[in-house]
Amino acid sequence: MKKKNVAKRPARKPPEDRRSTILDSTLRLIATDGVDSITHRRVATAADVPLGSTTYYFESREQLLREAFRLYLTRIWALQTQLLESFRISTAESLVDYLVELTKRTFEDEAMMLAEYELTLFAARDGEVADALHEWDAAMIAELARALEALGCARPFDAAKTLLHMMRGHELDSLSRHDADPEDLRRRLRVVVAALVGESVPAPKRRDRRAPRR
């Protein structure tokens, strides 16, 4: 007796994978169309999941936006922690290297940067998103302040806030220009960091323009 061919159903994603897929799709939609474009139906279509999945995991549109922002901040914090461990900041120059590398890495996916700033604006209208943003700011400032204090900075927390705001200004400029040079950020950070820790500004590295030997 021949066995009937039964079509195999595609394996269902684990709940946490499906939840992450929904949140990732939310962030992508925010990047392309802004916060106001987010609805359960649009997110479900983008994530290729049933509409019931988005309403199962997230009761409201606001909860969806809040959880998407928290996921983004968790990932950024993990990147920052990883880079801090690898750079082992012990000099002003190594602090500059860390900040420039962090900027480069966050811009590897420009859409996520767009989503971050869209949600930052949304924080002005949503207290929970604002709290998440302020908590992340405080953690970032504390890490930078520790590094600056070890380098001899007299007012490490004020200095850390200055550097954070400087980097955000560069990020916003980069989002509008699309061709901002990280080395330009490095040049300006060297001046600011040196002033904050009381060191002389290092001379810029000159390129060797000698003709190559034949």
Q: What is the pLDDT of residue 85?
A: 86
Q: What letters, b where the CB count within 10 A reaches 16 and e where it falls short, cover 24-56? A: bbbbbbbbeeebeebebeebbebbebeeebbee
Domain CATH code at residue 127: 1.10.357.10
If one counts the domains in the chain, the total is 1
- 2 occurs within a structural domain: no
User: How far is residue 70's CA from residue 128's CA, in Å, rounded to a whole number?
Assistant: 10
- 56 occurs within a structural domain: no
The alpha helices in 2-155, defined as continuous H runs, are 15-33, 40-47, 51-57, 61-87, 92-106, 110-122, 127-150
Q: What is the pLDDT of residue 182?
A: 84
Mean pLDDT for back-to-back runs of 10 residues, the chain (214 residues) = 46 70 96 94 95 94 95 92 88 94 90 92 94 94 95 95 93 82 90 89 54 46
- 22 occurs within a structural domain: no
- 26 occurs within a structural domain: no
- 187 occurs within a structural domain: yes
DSSP 90: -
- 21 occurs within a structural domain: no
- 41 occurs within a structural domain: no
- 212 occurs within a structural domain: no
Q: Which domain holds residue 124?
A: 66-197
Q: What is the pLDDT of residue 13?
A: 54
Q: What is the pLDDT of residue 15?
A: 61
Chain length of the chain: 214
Q: What is the pLDDT of residue 179?
A: 72
